[in-house]
Amino acid sequence: MITRMSWELSVFGKNLCEGSGISDLMDDLGEALAGPGDVMMLGGGQPANLPEMEAIWRRRMEEIMSEPRQLEKMLGHYDVPAGNEAFRVSLASLFQREFGWNLTHENIAVTMGGQTAFFFLFNALAGLFPSGDQGKILLPILPEYIGYADQSVGCDFFEAIPAQIQKIEQHEFKYLIDFDALELNRNHVAICVSRPTNPSGNVLTDAEIERLRAIAKRNKIPLIIDNAYGAPFPNIIFSEVTPVWDEEMILTLSLSKIGLPGTRTGIVVASKEVCRQISSMTSIVGLTNSNIGQEIMTPLIESGEVLTLSKKVVRPFYEERSKLAQSWFHQEFPDDLPYRIHRSEGALFLWIWFEGLPISTKELYQRLKKRGVLIVPGEYFFFGLPKEIDWPHVRECIRVSYTMDPQVVREGIKIIAQEVVSCYRESLAC
Backbone dihedral region for residue 83 (phi beyond 0: left; psi -120 to 50: alpha; all else: beta): left
Backbone region of residue 113 per phi and psi (left: phi > 0; alpha: psi in -120 to 50; beta: other values):
left
Task: Tell me the pTM.
Answer: 0.93
Q: Are strands 188-194 and 134-142 parallel, antiparallel or unpaired?
A: parallel
Residue partners of 388: CB distance under 8 A and separation at least 6: none
Measured distance CA(114)–CA(98) in Å, rounded:
23
Q: Strands across the sheet with 349-354, in order?
A: 164-168, 172-176, 339-342, 349-354, 397-401, 376-377
Strand, coil or helix: 223 = strand
Dihedral angle computed from the Cα positions of residues 105, 111, 113 and 115, in that order, rounded to the nearest 10 degrees: -120
Work out the angle at residue 186's Cα, subtended by the Cα atoms of residues 165 and 120, and round it to the nearest 5 degrees: 80
Asked whether 99 and 243 are in contact (CB, 8 A), the reply is yes
Per the CB < 8 A criterion, the answer to whether 274 and 108 are in contact is no
**Helices marked H in 126-224 — which ranges?**
206-218
- Local confidence pLDDT in tens for the 430 residues of the chain: 455 556 787 777 777 777 665 666 566 656 655 555 678 999 888 999 999 999 999 999 999 999 999 999 999 999 999 999 999 999 999 999 999 999 999 999 999 999 999 999 999 999 988 888 899 999 999 999 999 998 988 778 999 999 999 999 999 999 999 999 999 999 999 999 999 999 999 999 999 999 999 999 999 999 999 999 999 999 999 999 999 999 999 999 999 999 999 999 999 999 999 999 999 999 999 999 999 999 999 999 999 999 999 999 999 999 999 999 999 999 999 999 999 999 999 999 999 999 999 999 999 999 999 999 999 999 999 999 988 889 999 999 999 999 999 999 999 999 999 999 999 988 776 5
Phi and psi angles of residue 4, each rounded to the nearest 5 degrees, phi first: -90, 135
**Which residues touch 183 (CB under 8 Å, ≥6 apart)?**
none
User: Domains plus CATH for the chain?
Assistant: 11-53+309-429 (3.90.1150.10), 76-304 (3.40.640.10)
Question: What radius of gyration, in Å, describes the C-alpha atoms of the chain?
Answer: 22
